[in-house]
Structures are given as C-alpha cells and as structure tokens.
Amino acid sequence: MNPSTTQGHLTDLTTRNIPTTPGVPEAEHARAWTPGEARARFRAGLTGPTTGIAAGRTQANLISVPADWAYEMLLFCQRNPKPCPVLDVTDAGSWTTPLAEGADLRTDLPRYRVWEHGELVAEPTDVVDVWREDLVSFLIGCSFTFEWALAEAGVPLRHIEQGRNVSMYVTRRACRPAGRLRGPMVVSMRPVPPEHVATAIRETSLLPAVHGSPVHCGEPSGLGIADLARPDFGDPVDAGPDDIPVFWACGVTPQAVVMASRPPFAVTHAPGQMFLTDARDEQYRVA
C-alpha cells in the first residue's frame, strides 16, 4: 500500500469549501473561525488540510487504539517525545476531551483513516459506525501549531503560500520501540531561506509540546529521503532557489507505526487534516 494522500483541498467556493491560500478573503475568513465553528464545518462534511484555520488555536494529531494496545502506545509516545508529544489521552470508549468543550472525536475532524492489521481500509469523514467501546484516543501535538510563531517571526511558509498541504516523509530513522510497537519516524518539511533558519530553530524550540526544534536541516539523504518532490504524505511544495529543507518530527509517525506493527484495529486522522482544540497556541510556549 502506498500511504501517500492528497485529499480534497478547501477549494470549492460555490458550496462549503474554503481555500487555505493566504491573501484571499475566504482564507482570511477561515483563519478567523473559532475552533467550534471549524469543528462544526468538519462535522458537516468540510474536508481538507487545516493549516491556518482557526488561527492561534492548537491543532492535534489523533490515534485511537484498542485498550489492550494503549499502554504500549503511551510508552511509545513517552520514549519518542519529538514525534509523539502527548496533549491528552481519553478513557476507553470516550470520544470527548477537555481540550475542546462539546467536541466529538468521532466526527469533528475533516477526514479519518481506518486501519485493520496495518492496512488502510477506509478514509471516511466520520468514524461513528466503526467506533469501538475499547478505543483509547491519543491527541498528539501538531507542527501546524508552531506555524503562527514562524509567521510572526517573518519565516516564510511555502506550503501556505502555495495553498498546499505540508510535505511529510517516512525516514530511515527508527523510533525507540515499546512492546509490540515499532516503526520509523515521519517528518514534515518546510523550505526555509538561509537567513531564517536560525529563527525557525529558535522559535520552534520554544514549543516542545508540538514537536519543538527541527530534527534535521539540509541534505534530505541524511534522513534517507530520496526525492523531496515525492512526499509519502501531503503535497510536494516548491522551494525558493536558495531555500534549505528543514525537517521537524511529525505526528503522522503513529501511522507509520501502525503499518509496521499491525495492530488489529486503529483510527487516525488523515495527514494534514487535524483536530482543532480550544487551547491557545501560546499556552504551549515555554518562554
């Protein structure tokens, strides 16, 4: 199975969809949504990458696993905090979280992925019909959260400029295993002009709960990435002529772990289509 996906972008202006491209009124409107408004639109069927939506509110990756795998998932996250910084863990069967009052983790993301024995079997817009009473959900910090800090510091965000999902790659860097769970780290990549690299490192290092500082800068072969134009998840993003590829650990890592470890069942978000919490981004800044 090829895990690559470029799911429906927010481009159908005649009905319900709104582009993420900056500088147009519709995109500015999406930035101004409250998290509750965004979740209601996703519940009604809006899909697409969530970068820039409900600006200033924390976004999260989702993975739900059966309770008999939950301790190993928690241990895996504890051992691999860069790709898997945990923001919340639910009780078994619960679809609520204190991070978002009134939200439903089964319906309030733009798109989900359903996994059986490590195979992707569906990408629905809700998972009510497949929800199980033994599922424990993990909300994991997302790098979309630190993009506000990069933008405020003047670091260009090429994928937003181009109206695309961020590029994500499976690396050859193995995560530390935990019980039955093992797999490679996934990274997101943002092309950064050389004069902004130090700023990007400094700003993201202050947000460790959403992946923190980069894990690699420069030559992608250092992570085992052969071709930046062919991401494993998300979209290819065009770099400027002097841009340096900068890589951050990514919350899609648990999906690579699902593929490698093959638990009997799991639910995740679709890459780039995140859960919008009520928390404010600055709550996770350490200085």
CA dihedral of residues 241, 245, 251, 257 (deg, nearest 10): 120
pLDDT of 21 strictly over 50 = no
pLDDT of 17 strictly over 50 = no
> How does residue 187 score in pLDDT terms, banded at 50, 70 and 90?
very high
Which domains are delineated in the chain?
Answer: 57-142+258-284 (3.40.1640.10), 144-249 (3.30.2040.10)
pLDDT of 8 strictly over 70 = no
Amino acid residing at 130: V
Q: At what angle do helices 253-261 and 67-79 cross, to 10 degrees?
A: 130
Contact indicator for 263, 123 with CB cutoff of 8 Å: no
Contact indicator for 187, 245 with CB cutoff of 8 Å: no
d(CA 34, CA 12): 21
Q: What is the DSSP string of 242-263?
A: T-EEEEEE-TTHHHHHHHHH--
Rounded alpha-carbon distances, angstroms, from residue 202 to 83, 205, 239? 18, 5, 21
What's residue 22's pLDDT? 34
What's residue 28's pLDDT? 54
Q: In the β-sheet with 216-217, what is the strand arrangement from edge to edge?
A: 167-174, 184-192, 244-249, 216-217
pLDDT tens, position by position, 29-47? 788 899 999 999 999 999 9
pLDDT tens, position by position, 86-143? 999 999 999 999 999 999 999 999 999 999 999 999 999 999 999 999 999 999 999 9
Contact indicator for 279, 88 with CB cutoff of 8 Å: no
> How does residue 3 score in pLDDT terms, banded at 50, 70 and 90?
very low
In this structure, what token pair is assigned to residue 74? 């928690």
Average pLDDT of every residue of the chain: 90
DSSP secondary structure letter of residue 194 = G
Contact indicator for 265, 66 with CB cutoff of 8 Å: yes
What's residue 80's pLDDT? 98
pTM higher than 0.85 for the full model? yes
Higher pLDDT, 232 or 16: 232
d(CA 280, CA 278): 6
pLDDT of 177 strictly over 60 = yes
Q: Could you tell me which residues come within 8 angstroms of residue 285 by beta carbon, excluding any fewer than 6 positions away?
A: 149, 206, 207
